[in-house]
Amino acid sequence: MTLGVRLRGEAADLAALQTLARALPELVSARWVEVSAGDQRILASPEIAEDAAETLRQSGLDVIRLTRRENDLVLRDFGEDDAAPSPLPGAHTRNAQHLLEALRPLPVDRPRPPAEALFVMSAHGDAPRHVLERVLLLGRDDVTVAEWLARDERLFVVRADRPPHYLLMRAHEEPDEGVRAYARAAPGLWVEWGFAHPLAAIAGEVVRERGRDALVDRDGRWREIDERWPSRSVYDALKPELPAARVRLTPAPDETRFSVRLRLAPGPPSEPELWLLSPEQLLRLESLVDSAPRDDLGSLTLARLLHPDDGPVYLLRERPRAGRRRLGLRISELCEAEGFSHTDGADNLYLPVGSRLLPAMRRDELKELLGLDTARAAVLRDRGDGPEVITVPAVDEEPLDRFVDYIATDRRVELDRLLEDAVFHFPGVVVNRPKKVDAVRPQRDAPEKKPRRSFADLFKRGREVDANELEDEQTTETEVLPSLDEQAALRAEARALEQRAAEGGVTVEKAWYELAVLKELLEEVDDACASLEAALLFAEEGRDVERARTLASWRARLAPHRGADDDILQLALEEDLTPTDATLLGARALVALLGGEPLPDGVLPVLVRTFSRPALPVSRRLAWLVLWACHQTTSDKLGLTRAKEALIGQLNDRGLNETWDLPRFIRYALALDDDSDASGERNRLEQLDALDRLWELASSDLRELEPLSAYKRLLFAVGYARAGATGQARELARPVEDELPAHDRPNRELFRLYLARLAHAQSDDDDDAFHADVEQILVSIGDDRARRAVDWLRKRSPWLRAAEHEPPAPWLRPQLQRALEAAERDPKKASATVRRALEEREHFDYEVAQAVVRGVRAVMRTGNDALIDDVVDAAAGGLRRIGVLGHRALAIGCCIEAAAATGDLGTVHRLLDGIIEIARAPRTPSVRDLLRAVRPALLALRRLGAAGSADHFLHALVPLTESHQKDRAPLAAALADGFLQLGDRGAAADLIDRASEASRDAQLEYGARYDGAAAVLDTLRHWPTAERAERGAELLRDLDAFNDTFTVRVWFPTHKLLVIERLVDTVVDVITFSSDRVRAYLDADELALRRRIAHDWSEL
Amino acid sequence: MTTWTMEELEPEIDAVRTRLLAHQRELKRYFVGRDLEIDLMLTAAAAQEPLLFVGPPGTAKSDLVVKFTESLGLTDEDYFEYMLTKFTEPSEILGPIDIDLLKQGRFVRRTQGKLPEARVAFLDEIFKSNSAILNTLLTILNERKYYQDGMPVPVNLAVLFAATNDIPEQSELEAMSDRFVLKIETRPVKDTHFTELVDAGLRNESFKATGRRPWADGSASFDDLLKMKRYMDLTFASGKGASADREHFFPPAVFAEMRRVVRTLESEDKVFVSDRKLVKLYRLIRTHAFLNHGGAVDTPDLMLLAYSGNRRQELPVVQEKVRTLLGA
């Protein structure tokens, strides 16, 4: 006999059970039996005692007594033992471990798909296969599977987030298929989908307490499993089969090559730029030479070659220049010669104008077939009986105007002969020089014709040249010029001296004077004057008035509009002197002052005032010579001191001026080893070669429609265009233009920006035009998200962003600002102002640093060593008061410049120690801040000629490249730059390699890696092109190291693009390398000038 | 005559069905890669439900309808074709106002050669029409009638085909879109049937040039379509109880499968199936099943659900989903 509770299949059942659990909680965990017969459901437990049953009855539950009579169960209402028992025919019983398990889930009307479901089925049979097939067909390979062992069967389980509704319904509606779907009803409890457990939350807690999960099916049956059960990918459960015959292909032993005959076919119209001319055709150029301006002819080069069948052939080439008109069509017409133009995809291959090569071939194949390389060009022409490939070796092509001498009389025969034989030897010819246009110049009687002497020989014999003799020669109307061979020898001699001078710091009077005379002989009068000024400046035994006279006569030749009668006063009083007039004035003043000629009243002060002006367009050498001469004649020591301070102040303030202080020939000698055209061409070829090598590397993994590949194409295309290979540039960019519409919006717009950059690089427009285009493109982007992405890259890309503006001066407290302005007006107050700023504690560090910087600059402009020393002393003593190391570094850098200007090496060294102390401080400043001090320090040491100190200083900083984990690449790159400027290429190479390696260090944060690479590439600009390419290639090989996690990476990899852009920019940069050498020369020259000024001043 | 009785139809319905299937096979010979479209056209025409072609120009939409019409022996008077624009006026579709009658105060249209008189119609760019046209068409589609002088007049129209490049999502067009229970994408077939397309195109050009219309000698007639519709209507009405047709012709397992597919499309792909559309789908599936194999609905017949998408981007998704669910 068992007592139990009768359920009615209604919602009230739930309340009844809750009452039971509340009244007798111990019964919840008792064993229960569920009895179902027809529509009757009874929950009975052998553990319900009589008194408990009474309690339940009193609580309103329908309590019954269940007994077994023969084979049937019968029941009777509790407390009515006399009543007749009711039989329960066909009753089913189900045992349950506790009350919750005894409860049967209730069906749910229109169940919704759950967030997570389990599909459980027997592992044997077809059900798993059907379910998996359907799941995979629906594209749901994110499901996981597991297998469980039940008592007597192996179950297969598919677990799915967002389970397919169809499968849920199918499991619910087709139970015969053997698949049951369970949805999570509560943590730990899975109930068959379509049903709900009345006490799901409680049941879940109970099973969770046991560390289990329970699955409850529609019949109320419970299955328990471990809370954590292993699952695996759906693919692990698949055993794919493909009932197909297997055929294995193997590589064929030999490649089949098919012969394809190349032919010339009509192509797009193009301008001719190369001709192969017979001697007769060459002579037809005469009318062009006659009429074309010399500048236009400068774009034509000529070389004589030998064709094995046709004999001499002239290679005429036009090298188009921006802003110059093309002569190609006119030449073709004049010479009746076929013109050739270079072909897209192979810059050194020339095809007849308006033709192209069919079929199109890859560039490397074409190179191999025609033997193209960067040094040799090939011309393909159709001779009627078939095509002919003419290989043009790397010959020195001379500008056409070199073959042309402008003669006053018609000496056609000589000119023709000169043109014929021009390249291989230069026969001496006698030509009539046109008369000088100097109408005012007094004409002397023609002196007796003297045999021409080699001045080089004269100098070798140590003989001085008489200036009068020189002047005589200038005025000779008909003269015997040195033969071309002799001219070449003179030129070579001059070149050697130029190179020596260009190495910097030449202070030998004789060398300058030799150079001056040679330059004059070579008709390079401007250079001759510059050299003679240097000779006068560095004169060892007093400045010679005759040389000043020579200088004046040469300057007069450059100013034919000035008559000999223009007196000094008249010139000196003119406002806005032109460079020609100013230098002439200086030369004439020197002649007068050194020669002791009486000067009109008032001229001397005017001269002093004029040549003290910083803006006077003369070299500082000439300015000092004149000022020195003015005060030397009057023995005015005070005046000379003022003059010295004015000149030194100018040097402190702005250094030597590249326009007025750098002789033209020095500039060429620095920038070019040979003549300009050939060197320019060599630079171009080197750049192209470097770009070729880098592109080969970059193009190894190009894919269609991949943004990075498209960017690579465009970036290199811009590089090629800047190096003059517009054909290659067009070829690279074309696929991007073709696939433009297929790319996402931001990439599409950025491609347009780079294409605009490419177009401007090809047309050599200025930056303003480009940025106008950029603005136009940006305005046309309507989509905000796309515009933000475009802006993101544009702001970071040196090629796309507009010029950076100088940051505004930092704000200072009004009192300090007023004090500094007063010090700038009256530099004598600078020392006190700086000292006060350092002492007053209320100033911020940046304000103190600004006070030091502005105070130092104010006194530097005076050139007064005492004032400068005062301020530096005032500042140097209190710099430790600046706590923020970055600001202290700025102030130290400025003080080092000032100390170097006065030649105070001791203070410089003390300040350098300050930098090293900052760098080694536990709280190190950023490398960027540190470099604010390191760079001026290096510059100052170089100007001081203290290479040893600079080297020591740099070596003291080298260990920091190991300690600055984040910034070690930028620091190493900056130090490499410093060593390079000092000429220590070994140390520089070692550091730049370390910087390059550090920039690819996977341990670094990606931003630091990019900053490192950018610093390396910036530094490489100061290296020769081949080394830039070699080291740049390392970065390119490890391009994947420059990843990022920016939001825009869904469209483009920012850092990779910027690294490639900087790399290409570095490789095609010709300016930095040349300007480094110019800067170094000017620094050395400035040091020499300072020493000379100090020497002259102390002598008086 | 559309008042055939079951007794009249039953003896010949199998022959009608056979003729229609033969007709369908014949018509397919004149098109390349358009079997699916022709199957749907016949089913839709037999059930007298409108069918919408969705696709770019040049995908044989108009040609399909014209040849289909001609193959059923219909003349130009029975066929109305018009390209709609937002400036199309009701008179262009329904016919101009009769001026004489208007003077007498009656608002009567002269419908000869216009939509109300036609038995088959093809409206191109249907969603580009304005609201006046849309309202008129909705009335015709719903109630098979239009208004003359304020009085409803039945239309002859039995079969409507329409075409569009796109299905706009404006709410005012949703009612019209919902009337087209079946929508099929027509795609270019040149990539898959290049050679056959050129051959068939040339042959069709030659037919056109010589004035021949071999497809016009179709095995079935328009009457056969009407008989099939009438027979299906009578069948739906026969039997006792509302569920008689379903119990007899729609096995429970297949019906459950249909329900599962529809609910899955609704819950997972947000395909809205209105009550009206569900009933129409049932009728179409039944008609398709009877037409093709003369018996109860089988699971493959449920493939019609693949063309029940509403929005443009839904069409390929729904098609693929239904194929997957049905294991087709």
Answer yes or no: are the C-beta atoms of B178 and B276 closer than 8 Å: yes
Q: Establish if A177 touches chain B: CB-CB under 8 angstroms.
A: no
Q: How far apart are the C-alpha atoms of A272 and A846, rounded to whole Å?
A: 62
Q: Is A359 exposed, middle or buried (0-12, 13-18, 19+ CB in 10 A)?
A: exposed
CB half-sphere exposure, A921, CA atoms < 13 A: 19
Q: Establish if A165 touches chain B: CB-CB under 8 angstroms.
A: yes
Of A195-199, A314-318, A798-802, the poorest mean pLDDT is in: A798-802
Report pLDDT digits (tens) over A441-495: 333 343 444 443 333 343 333 333 343 444 444 433 334 445 566 667 777 777 7
For residue B174, the distance in angstroms to the closest alpha carbon of chain A comes to 26
Write the CB contacts of A820 (distance below 8 Å, at least 6 apart in sequence).
Answer: A812, A833, A850, A851, A854, A855
Of B256, B261, B267, which has the smallest distance from its Cβ to A173's Cβ? B256
Residue A1074 scores a pLDDT above 80: no
pLDDT of residue A570: 73
Pairing of strands A346-352, B145-148: unpaired
pLDDT of residue B281: 96
Q: How far apart are the C-alpha atoms of A177 and B260, rounded to whole Å?
A: 15
Answer yes or no: are the C-beta atoms of A1055 and A628 closer than 8 Å: no
pLDDT of residue A1070: 63
Residue A498 scores a pLDDT above 80: no
Q: How would DSSP label each residue in A914-960?
A: HHHHHHHSSSPPPHHHHHHHHHHHHHHHHHHT-HHHHHHHHHHHTTH
Confidence of residue A1095 (pLDDT cuts 50, 70, 90): confident
Q: What is the mean pLDDT of chain A?
A: 79
Q: Do A169 and B264 touch (CB under 8 A)?
A: yes
Q: Is B150 left (phi over 0), alpha (psi -120 to 50) or beta?
A: left
Q: Is A293 left (phi over 0), alpha (psi -120 to 50) or beta?
A: beta
Write the CB contacts of B43 (distance below 8 Å, at least 6 apart in sequence).
Answer: B182, B284, B287, B288, B291, B304
For residue B216, how many other CB atoms are within 10 A of its CB?
13
Cα distance from N-terminal residue to C-terminal residue, chain A: 138
Q: How would DSSP label each residue in A1013-1070?
A: HHHHHHHHTTS-HHHHHHHHHHHHHTGGGS----GGGGT--HHHHHHHHHHHHHHT--
SS3 B300: helix
Residues of A in contact with B260 (CB under 8 A): 165-166, 169-170, 173
Residue A568 scores a pLDDT above 80: no
Strand-pairing partners, residue A63, are A5
Report pLDDT digits (tens) over A136-146: 888 889 999 99
For residue B178, the one-letter residue type is: D
Of A112, A137, A169, which has the smallest distance from its Cβ to B260's Cβ? A169
Q: Sign of dihedral through CA atoms A1086, A1092, A1095, A1099?
A: negative
Q: Is B144 exposed, middle or buried (0-12, 13-18, 19+ CB in 10 A)?
A: middle
Pairing of strands A154-161, A300-307: unpaired
Residue A625 scores a pLDDT above 70: yes
pLDDT of residue A34: 87
Write the CB contacts of B17 (distance below 8 Å, at least 6 apart in sequence).
Answer: B228, B290, B291, B294
Q: How far apart are the C-alpha atoms of A1023 and A1026, rounded to whole Å?
A: 8
Most confident of the following: A55-69, A327-341, A552-566, B155-169: B155-169
For residue A166, the distance in angstroms to the closest alpha carbon of chain B comes to 5
Residues of A in contact with B256 (CB under 8 A): 173-174
Answer yes or no: are the C-beta atoms of A200 and A83 closer than 8 Å: no
Helix A927-944 and helix A1071-1099: axis angle, to 10°?
A: 50
For residue B263, the distance in angstroms to the closest alpha carbon of chain A comes to 8
Q: Do A164 and B264 touch (CB under 8 A)?
A: yes
SS3 A760: helix
pLDDT of residue A453: 38
Question: Residues 104 to 163 of A: which have CB under 8 A from any B CB?
Answer: 112-113, 134, 137-138
pLDDT of residue A139: 87
Report pLDDT digits (tens) over A1006-1058: 888 888 898 888 888 888 888 888 888 988 888 888 888 888 888 899 999 99
Pairing of strands B79-83, B51-54: unpaired
Of A112, A165, A174, which has the smallest distance from its Cβ to B264's Cβ? A165
Report pLDDT digits (tens) over A657-686: 777 787 777 766 665 444 444 455 567 778
Regions of chain B short of the pLDDT cut 50: none
Q: Is A304 exposed, middle or buried (0-12, 13-18, 19+ CB in 10 A)?
A: buried
E strand or H helix at A201: helix A200-209
Q: What is the DSSP letter of A448?
A: P
Q: Nearest to residue A41, comparing CAs of A86, A8, A75, A3?
A: A8
Q: How far apart are the C-alpha atoms of A192 and A178, rounded to whole Å?
A: 13
Q: Do A166 and B259 touch (CB under 8 A)?
A: no
Q: How far apart are the C-alpha atoms of A165 and B268, rounded to whole Å?
A: 7
Look up the ipTM and state it: 0.83
Q: How far apart are the C-alpha atoms of A394 and A386, rounded to whole Å?
A: 26
State percent of chain A over pLDDT 90: 8
Confidence of residue A172 (pLDDT cuts 50, 70, 90): very high
Of B267, B268, B324, which has the smallest distance from its Cβ to A137's Cβ? B324
Residue of chain B whose alpha carbon sits nearest to that of A114: B267
Residue of chain B whose alpha carbon sits nearest to that of A162: B268
- Interface probe, candidates A140, A141, A169, chain B, greatest B C-beta count within 10 A: A169
Q: Establish if A166 touches chain B: CB-CB under 8 angstroms.
A: yes
Q: Establish if A164 touches chain B: CB-CB under 8 angstroms.
A: yes
Answer yes or no: are the C-beta atoms of A898 and A871 closer than 8 Å: yes
Distance of CA B287 to the CA centre of its chain: 13
Of B260, B268, B321, which has the smallest distance from its Cβ to A170's Cβ? B260
Report pLDDT digits (tens) over A824-839: 888 888 889 998 888 8
Residue of chain B whose alpha carbon sits nearest to that of A169: B260
